[in-house]
Structure 1
Amino acid sequence: MRRSFSLNAVLVTVAALGALVLTVVHRSPAGLLTFQLDTREVRAAPGQTQVLRHDLSALKVFNLTLVRVKDRYVDPTRIDARKMLLGALDSVQFNIPEVIVEPDDGRREVAVRVNDKREVFSTADVDSPWRLVAKLKKIFRFVEVNMNPGADLAAVEYAAVNGMLGTLDPHSVLMNPEAARDMDVNTSGKFGGLGIVIRMVDRKLTVIRPMKGTPAWTRGIKAGDHIVKINDEPTDNLTSDEAVDRMRGEPKTPVTLWVARKGEAGLLQFDLIRDLIRLASVESKLLGKGVGYIRIKSFSSATAADTAAAMRELSAQGAATWILDLRWNPGGLLEQSIQVSDLFVDTGAVVTTVSTRKREVHDASRGLGDTGSSVAVLVNSGSASASEIVAGALKNLDRAVIIGNRTFGKGSVQELFDNQDGSKLKLTVAQYLTPGDRSIQSVGIVPDVQLAPMMVPAKTGTPGDRVRLLPPSRSYGEKDLDAHLTSTYAKDGDKPAHELAYVYERPAAKVTTAPADGSSDEALDEEPPDDDEIREDFEMRFARDLLAANPTAQRPALVKAARKLLDRVRAEEEKKLVDQVSKLAVDWSAPPADASAGARLTARLDTAPLGAIRAGDTVTLTGTVKNEGTAPAFRVHARVQTDDGVFEDTELLFGKIAPGETRTFEAKLVVPKDSVDRLDRLGLEVREAKNAPATVIPATLRIEARPRPVFAYAYHLVDAGNGDGLVQRREKYKLRLTIKNSGQGTAAETTALLRNASGDGVVIDKSRFELGELAPGQSRTVEFPFAVTPRLDGEEMAVEVLMYDGVLGTQASEKLRFPVRPAVAVEAQRGVVEVRARATTLRAGASADSTPIGTAAAKARFTSLGVAAGWVKVDLGEGRFGFAPAGEVGKTGGAATSAWTPTWHSTPPALTVQQRGLETTAATYTVGGSVVDDTHVEDVYIYVSNSSAKIDGRKVFYRSNRGGKNDKQLDFQADVPLWPGSNQIMVVARENTDVRAVRMMYVYREATKTAAVSP
């Protein structure tokens, strides 16, 4: 099932650079050249040039990175020069379309093709970092010579560095200068805020709550308020992060919020002064029975002090035992995790940091807290890094019982290094060890009491009614990341002392924080809470009851005592489960003690409607199980097995089945509207209380994609100030945007946005247009009014246009950059001018580098509005004007026709892919087709991905149109490799760097027979 949720954005700034280094867990940082197709590729369009050309073959950043890796990397045994070379080249080929790399492990060589040139390089001698550099220099000389001119060669080197680092671990990355600057801004320089928790609700910037004691609290901002404007900028198109950025600033600086409030006729104005805001990382509550509850959301600079203060406050209220909730805590500052541990232990090593240079032991300190009361620590898969240090210390020092689920398993330390070019290296330099020299790396902290939530819906008639009695078949933790580190100190043999499944009860939803899409919350333990209210859940109640009945400071005693509570709670949850399942007309009774094991099951899965299922339709999965044995089957339960996340883990309940009896169970699911063509094999994992064998007949499901819209667009910066069409400060403009659907499918919910990319230098008056349906061939025009203020930094004004279909996910975007120019005097001069002997280009402003907006044919006549140095300002109709070169038009008589052809700035090519079925038993699949464009076809290339085989975006084909017979058409055919299971094939055709078309489908490769027997 697909879910969408948004996390709160908090209007605070914390000096969290240390926390970032210690705890950030991600596949690739924002702004980096990541392994995603929707990133901007590093290659420039033909004909574009750079002012300064990066010396790619010098490999300055690569060399420096390699030196630091050799000197500081936590595990030198992972430094494999040949593997690093191939990783670097693979990253380069992913990011540069015209490069494709073909390694040959048998011959220990690699073939590199750039456009139509190919050269083979031996890798047999790449046995050290220095020979790696020498080989890569040679390869990059070949790449640089044969690439089209205008490539961003620095970005090529950054891609190579990240490919090389990717062979080490998932947390060592290079941030390019832009990403590094963004990180610096986010972690320093803006320390003032207002103290508001906000979220987008129904596309309105909504106050979830003001934080006590902050400027927002003091001036009367209330939960539920809608922030309509920040200073002069409307918020209707801002994301939560963008709104946070607008409201942050230097302390003691002013900001004005315009707020809509229920019951108030007009907007309320709040003039606020930014102040230093400290994010409270600790929340607490007395749960009753003398149990104090403390939730730590992250480890920031005051976490330990705040935890100690919470303990004192709760003690005064009668707390004598403690629950420490570290669920969804991603970590933070090492020193704070040590100090929090010190509040509960007074002897032993809390954590040990081990690098190639030294071993540093952090011992507990005496007399800092409560070391004699019962303690329980709640953890889950979202508990990482510093939170794992605390949980590991309290567990391994036998101080606290650990309750919940296995933690994430991030036991490494990263350090930041600055480069002269502005980039930053984040390198893994050490690992953590919990007491007893036990690493958490990739194994996490195993709970003493493992709790597993189960969900039973009240009914099963709609797609939202999902059964879930089993944990997800796929997990996500450190061990699931590519190239994750392993530690010789890690021990993966730990098992929970106790396990308990319980029936999950959804908390009552709050109206002010409901999801904008109206979706129900079925997150269970898979997503963090989205507000700061403390609401008791099953884990908290279980821990409370355990501690209240067992006032002991020793973990072994608590673990042993848990059995009695578990026996009682297990019986209660068992009865609850049986009762709830019975409401679905399923007998979930347990088998009697003397039940025989003579059941034998046949299971079948059917889908409806028959034939291809169109994306967006509802599918009914019907499971049918027959007991062909001699004894009853009990608690028969099936789960769908497939590599399609829409259907994977769908559970079907059959319960008790008598000999000869057949039972069915249905589940309804909605195929997402943006699904692509694919064929799914749906198997069943069948379970029965006495482990009866089951023969399974799987189903095949064919999904048919909806025709996609394609957005072409043209833009015109209309000067509403001095009329010279150029950008100056203190002027107003309108960005006129025309959007055309050039695809075959209707865009159901078309939205056009203009985003400010110039900080305080631009104020947008209206930034969002909801255009509704846009049929194939249909176009719409909108105008975004905005002003350029004196606060614009630099000599460039930048805005970003974005258009998207909210249903199918199709989008197009571009960051538009306009140089700031001195004003050009336009002398009024009315009359009629005629284009001379040949067509001329019309521009938005009186400058040769102004945006071309159209073409006027020879003899076309226009009303002249004025003249500027070398330019004639002409009336284009509809309140628009343009500039024609003075030498290409002349005065004439007669009437103006204003006939001209607008320039489309983005017209994606038409990509046709011949589909030869969606399943095969062969190891390859032929993909063929044609690309046609009205201006130019640059190239076509193909990626293949297969999650089961861990193939992620492997480029398998590239064809350039360089030197082709037809510059506007390119035919192609490729035999692409397949792996068993579902293979995602992505075909990309480009007109230039920014304009491209994408076609995606899945092809299923059969590996073995699909009929199966479940034991």
Structure 2
Amino acid sequence: MVITKSKLVLGATAVTLSTIAVTSLGIHSRGQALNNSPKELIDEVWQVVQRQYVDGTFNQVDWQAVRKEYLSKSYSSKKEAYKSIREMLKKLDDPYTRFMDPDEFKNMQVDTSGELTGIGITISQDEKTKQLVVIAPIEDTPAFKAGILSKDEILKIDGKSTQGMDTNQAVSLIRGTAGTKVKLTIRRSGQTKDFEITRARIEIHPVKYSQKTSPAGNLGYIRLNQFSANAGKEMQQAIKDLETKKVVGYVLDLRGNPGGLLFSSVEIARMWLDKGTIVSTIDRQGEQEREVANGRALTDKPMVVLVDKGSASASEILSGALQDNKRATLVGTQTFGKGLVQSVRPLEDGSGLAVTIAKYHTPSGKDINKHGIDPDIKVELTDAQKQDLWLRERDKLATLEDPQFAKAVEVLGKQITAKGTTTTSAEKN
């Protein structure tokens, strides 16, 4: 997703399968006017990579020689130039640095309305196998309701093999008019299954919250589905409302949250953290930028964060920051493990380019892209349990019949008791 405020994109949320209206985005084109010829487009792409790409060795490729090779060719059409640009970028062996023709680029663009048309999944390409995989379905969308899960491998789209297919090509096949259907052939735990999904117009509400009566006391439960542009505002309202209800602790649920906007994750982290580093972005020159808390936390009450393998990118920034600063206990399973930052820019002919420009580290220096975030307390769910909780018996989600939530309540109970004891002792002194 495009990060319109800081002009950055997180690699894990590589492509959301939806058609999204256009607003302004990205880094503007080079200052000089381009004549819009095929060679000038190729050179523009080459120049962007030359200036910004995270790996200064360009995957051990002689990037100057690449420029000479592709500018020495003759091109009779933009289509030929597009093909050469894709060939050129493949030399970097980075699925997140990619060229998008004008139609593909429209699928990346973000509208402030928050309305999407599609099936509601976020996909990526496995860096080792090159297989298309689902990062996570967006809650309450057609893909979610059909039973698509995080880490599902997409083998076919309407019968067409995805072998050798990049995310842009997959989007072109999966997206379509609301009401039409698309068939995905999925491999999960070694078994193959077909899912026929009807496309729809989707309105995303990133934050849902409620107060929960539990053995640990009156708790605030906040489910964050996605780090969209308005997620911070909704999170702030949720915390303030729950504070008026005198909750004694919080469960923040990031399960299945595929990420989104970098500035949104930082904004929300500051609502929970009063001090400390939130995230560091590392470019090829070393540390580029460090985001820190600003002393404006909305609460200091005990907190547990729920994570799983569908928690990616911005979710990993937030959970990593809260864990490393000892602000929250993480319960669940290892997160997705995608920590690349991209710059997304429009090109002169309406096409676009996404370039990996940095990776991000947690406050303690963990490289999320290599491993993800390990929870403090591991609680696994089987695929059958996930299907029951998230689809068949949603009323059990975030109740004591939800094993991960139940563990969160247990942990909070101990923390609340300990904090109460400490407070009482301090008052006696």
TM-score range normalised by the length of the shorter chain: 0.5 to 0.7
**Matching residue's letter, 2:295:** R
Q: Given the alignment of the two structures, is residue 424 of structure 1 paired with residue 342 of structure 2, yes or no?
A: no
Amino acid at match of 1:172: T
Contact 2:180 2:199 in 1 (8 A): no
8 Å CA contact retained: 1:297, 1:329: yes
Q: How does 1:912-931 map to 2 (within 5 A)?
A: none
Of residues 33, 48, 63 in structure 2, which corresponds to 1:129?
Answer: 63
* CA distance in 1 between partners of 2:98 and 2:376 (Å): 35
Q: Alpha-carbon deviation of 1:191? A: 7.4
Where does residue 340 of structure 2 map in the other structure? 412
Over 3 Å counting, the alpha-carbon distance change for 1:315 and 1:176 in structure 2 is same
Question: Counterparts of 1:202 and 1:417 in 2: how far apart (Å)?
Answer: 33
Among 83, 100, 119, the residue aligned to 1:175: 100
Pair 1:160–1:355, CA change in 2 (3 A): same
Query: What letter is aligned with 1:159?
Result: K
* 2:79 is the alignment partner of 1:155: yes
Q: 1:202 & 1:376 partners in 2: Cα distance?
A: 27
Shift of 1:64: 1.9
Q: Alpha carbons of 1:399 and 1:66: their partners in 2 closer, same or farther (altered >3 Å)?
A: same
Q: Secondary structure at the match of 1:307?
A: helix
Structure 1 or 2, whichever has the larger Rg, is: 1
SS in 1 for 2:373: coil
Q: In structure 2, which of residues 201, 205, 209 is the aligned counterpart of residue 244 of structure 1?
A: 201
What per-residue deviation string (whole Å, max 9, x for no partner) do you get for residues 949-969 of structure 1?
xxxxxxxxxxxxxxxxxxxxx
CA contact (8 A) 1:374 1:552 kept: no
Question: Equivalent residue of 1:429, what SS?
Answer: strand
Instruction: Write the mapping of 1:487-566 to structure 2, written as runs, cut at 5 A.
Output: 506-507=388-389, 534-536=397-399, 537-551=402-416
Change (3 A) 1:342 1:538: same
Partner Cα separation in structure 2 for residue 553 and residue 133 of structure 1: 63
1:359 equivalenced with 2:316 (yes/no): no
Distance 1:309 1:62, change over 3 A: same
Matches within 5 A, 1:30-69: 59-69=39-49
Q: Which amino acid aligns with 1:65?
A: V
Q: Is 1:344 the equivalent of 2:272?
A: yes
SS in 2 for 1:78: coil
CA distance in structure 2 between the aligned counterparts of 1:426 and 1:130, rounded to whole angstroms = 20
- Offset of 1:244 from its aligned partner? 2.3
C-alpha contact 1:378 1:403 (8 A) present in aligned 2: yes
Question: CA–CA distance in 2 between the matches of 1:450 and 1:338?
Answer: 25
Q: For residues 534 and 305 of structure 1, do their structure 2 counterparts lie closer, same or farther at Cα, with a shift above 3 Å needed?
A: farther
CA gap 1:365/1:200 in 2 versus in 1, 3 angstroms? closer
- Give the distance between the partners of 1:392 and 1:201, measured in 2 at CA: 26
Whether contact under 8 Å (1:290, 1:548) holds in the other structure is: no
Report deviation, 1:344.
Answer: 2.1
Name the CA distance, whole Å, in 2 between partners of 1:310 and 1:425. Answer: 36
Matched-pair contact (CA < 8 Å) for 1:29–1:175: no
1:15 CA displacement: 9.1
Greater RCO structure (CA 8 Å; 6+ sep): 2
Corresponding residue pairs, total: 330
Cα distance change, pair 29–426 in 1 and its aligned pair in 2 (3 A)? farther
* Residue 303 (structure 2) aligns with: 375
**Separation of aligned partners in 1, 2:415 and 2:212:** 16
| Deviations 1:88-107, CA, capped at 9 Å, x for gaps | xxxxxxxxxxxxxxxxxxxx
Gaps of 5+ in 2: 20-35, 118-139, 147-176, 183-196, 423-429
Q: Give the match's secondary structure for 2:370.
A: coil
**Partner SS state of residue 171, structure 1:** coil
Partner of 1:25: 13
What is the CA-CA distance between 1:163 and the residue it aligns to? 3.4
What residue ranges of structure 1 are gaps of 5+ in the alignment?
1-13, 32-53, 82-127, 145-151, 204-233, 246-276, 456-467, 469-502, 511-520, 522-530, 558-1015
| Rounded Cα–Cα distance in structure 2 between residues aligned with 1:72 and 1:235 | 38
User: Is the CA contact 2:100–2:351 (under 8 Å) kept in the aligned structure 1?
Assistant: yes
The structure-2 alpha-carbon separation of the partners of 1:178 and 1:297, relative to structure 1 and needing over 3 Å to count, comes to same
What residue in structure 1 maps to residue 379 of structure 2?
451
Distance 1:445 1:417 in 2: 30
2: distance between equivalents of 1:367 and 1:168? 42
Partners in 1 of 2:388 and 2:265 — Cα distance? 32
Q: Secondary structure at the match of 2:10?
A: helix
Identity %: 26
Give the Cα–Cα distance (whole angstroms) in 2 for the partners of residues 342 and 294 of structure 1. 16
Amino acid at match of 1:292: G
Deviation, 1:410, is 1.6
Correspondences of 1:803-882 after superposition (within 5 Å): none
Secondary structure at the aligned position of 1:68 is classed as helix
TM-score normalized by structure 2? Answer: 0.65
- Please tell me whether the aligned partners of residues 391 and 402 of structure 1 are also in contact (alpha carbons under 8 angstroms): yes
Structure with greater proportional helix content: 2
Corresponding residue number in structure 2 for 1:287: 212
Cα distance in 2 between the residues matched to 1:202 and 1:409: 25
| In 2: Cα distance, 1:235 partner to 1:362 partner | 40
Partners of 2:8 and 2:344 within 8 A in 1: no
Q: Give the conservation status (yes or no) of the 8 Å contact 1:342–1:368.
A: yes
Write the distance in 2 (CA, Å) between the matches of 1:242 and 1:384: 24
